[in-house]
Chain A
Amino acid sequence: MSRILPYLLSGISVGGQYALISIGYTMVYGILRLINFAHGDIFTVAGLLMVYAAATMPLYISAPLVIILTIILGVLVEKVAYKPLRTAPRMSVMISAIGMSYLLQNTMWYLTGGLAKKYPTLPWISDKINVGGTTTSRVTLITPFLTVILVIFLVMLIKKTKIGMAMRAASRDFETAQLMGVKVDSVVSFTFIVGSGLAAVGSMLYFTNYATVTPVVGAMPGLKAFVAAVFGGIGSIPGAVIGGFIIGICESFIKGASWTTFSDAFTFGLLIVILGVKPTGLFGESLTEKV
């Protein structure tokens, strides 16, 4: 047990971080049937913003500020890159998403000069603690709890509130939702607000474990979160969360067995297997349902 525990802990923690990012992918897909390729870059931008914000402000200001700025960026990306293409063929929107991803990356290169920026040590969150004989940082413990709380909150929001109901209606049938008076643009903006906000929280938890942030460092966790979303069934929030945890835990054990080199290969191997065996993922809606 004591040999497994550290890997399990770190797996659950990384899994929670993947889960927070993957919700953004899955929600946007649910509404727009679009893979938001820029989502991983928004996650990275949140990391960089924290580098700058934490240099001049205490955590209780910098953290909310970074979340708000990331949300604004996410909504802006939607308005600029996706909204004008609402009725365009899906391929055009996808190309726009890829373009947006590179735009964000290159802007970060430009602003940082391509140098790795030192990620700040966040007080309290980064502190070392002792769990069952293993030393780990507090973030490892906080992440799964925070993730689960945020997800429960989000699921309640979607089940119980008016905007949540509008989201569910729009994700099923855009047109009929509009006939009920739902403003699709507000629903889409709301989706990007939630997705980007959670990605910002995820980025704080994720980068705390790393020394530096570079413009491309978010690509890998972004991709893995995307695989998590597909694994869980893209469009499904519980699916994305469970997918995130499973991938995080599996990776951690593979690393623990000193097959670190294969941990990424495992994730993408998993993607290929799911797409082959069950393209709709664990909880995905069957594709024929959307009329």
Chain B
Amino acid sequence: MLKIENLHVSYGGIRALRGISLEVPDGKIVTLIGANGAGKSTMLRTISGLVKAESGSIKWNDKELVGLSIDKVIASGIAMAPEGRRVFSDMTVLENLRMGAYLRNDKDGIEKDIQRVYELFPRLKERNWQLAGTLSGGEQQMLAVGRALTSRPQLIMLDEPSLGLAPLVVQDIFAIIREINKTGTTVLLIEQNANMALKTADLAYVLETGNITMSGTGAELLVNEKVKEAYLGKHKN
């Protein structure tokens, strides 16, 4: 379980997170929704160690993550597909997946997990040897998710996996997120597409300018008037 308490993060003078507390229980899909600049990416980047926390604590299976180097955080069973895909453009699809498993040494296990990614994303299998930079946007997003899976994480963090994708592909991606979760992987999902995210999530948090303003099950927030108005594009009559 991931348990965050009173987390503060600043960039220079800008306070991006102002005392966040949230929980990600094992085996669940948890989503964090919020407007542009609310601090969603900052949250994930702080968990992974890319950004330093100012104060507060991030407990992962009762172990403190604040202050750990990034590779230690990753080694503890957390993987992240960053915002904007960020695939290694001059490496092949297969090499990208191998990079995801960089910290692992069990060759057979890695091969098995790469095959599993290929089962989830048959498109990637066909494009095994293609340079990642030449993939379409949707394929790159699949690769970014696949790459995060090959480390065989306990917790996978996805930063806007549906960004810029066609509606049908978005459906696919969400189906795969559920699929990943079914095999026991905990998912922490950031989304602009609040509708899909809330439908998929067991638990949801709403982030506004660095503060959590609402939380509840996905179903609860989906019918919440304030959420409807601000994030689902539905107005009260």
Asked if residues B89 and A168 are in contact (CB atoms below 8 Å), the reply is no
**A217 → chain B, closest Cβ, in Å?**
38
Asked if residues A175 and B82 are in contact (CB atoms below 8 Å), the reply is yes
Stretch from A20-28, A121-129, A147-155, A178-186 forming part of the interface with B: A178-186
Q: Report the interface size for chain B: residues with CB under 8 A from the other chain.
A: 24
Asked if residues B102 and A172 are in contact (CB atoms below 8 Å), the reply is no
Interface bits A154-187 vs B (CB < 8 Å: 1, else 0): 0000000010011011001101111111110000
Take A178-B50, A178-B70, A183-B71 as given contacts and tell me if A169 and B82 are in contact as well, using a CB distance cutoff of 8 Å. no
> Which residues of A have CB within 8 Å of B69?
183
Asked if residues B71 and A176 are in contact (CB atoms below 8 Å), the reply is no
Contact of B89 among A166, A177, A179, A289 (CB under 8 A): A289
Q: Is B88 an interface position by the 8 A CB rule? A: yes
Asked if residues A179 and B70 are in contact (CB atoms below 8 Å), the reply is yes
Asked if residues B88 and A181 are in contact (CB atoms below 8 Å), the reply is no
Interface bits B91-107 vs A (CB < 8 Å: 1, else 0): 10001001110110000
Asked if residues A162 and B88 are in contact (CB atoms below 8 Å), the reply is no
Q: Report the interface size for chain A: residues with CB under 8 A from the other chain.
A: 18
> Which residues of B have CB within 8 Å of A162?
102
CA distance A177 to B86 in the complex (A): 10
> Which residues of A have CB within 8 Å of B95?
165
Binding site for A on B (CB under 8 A): 48, 50, 69-71, 74-75, 79-80, 82, 84, 86, 88-91, 95, 98-100, 102-103, 147, 151
CA distance A179 to B157 in the complex (A): 11
CA distance A182 to B48 in the complex (A): 13
Take A172-B89, A172-B90, A176-B82 as given contacts and tell me if A181 and B50 are in contact as well, using a CB distance cutoff of 8 Å. no
> Which residues of A have CB within 8 Å of B82?
175-176, 179
Contact of A168 among B74, B91, B151 (CB under 8 A): B91
Contact of B50 among A168, A169, A179, A180 (CB under 8 A): A179
**A26 → chain B, closest Cβ, in Å?**
16
Asked if residues A182 and B88 are in contact (CB atoms below 8 Å), the reply is no
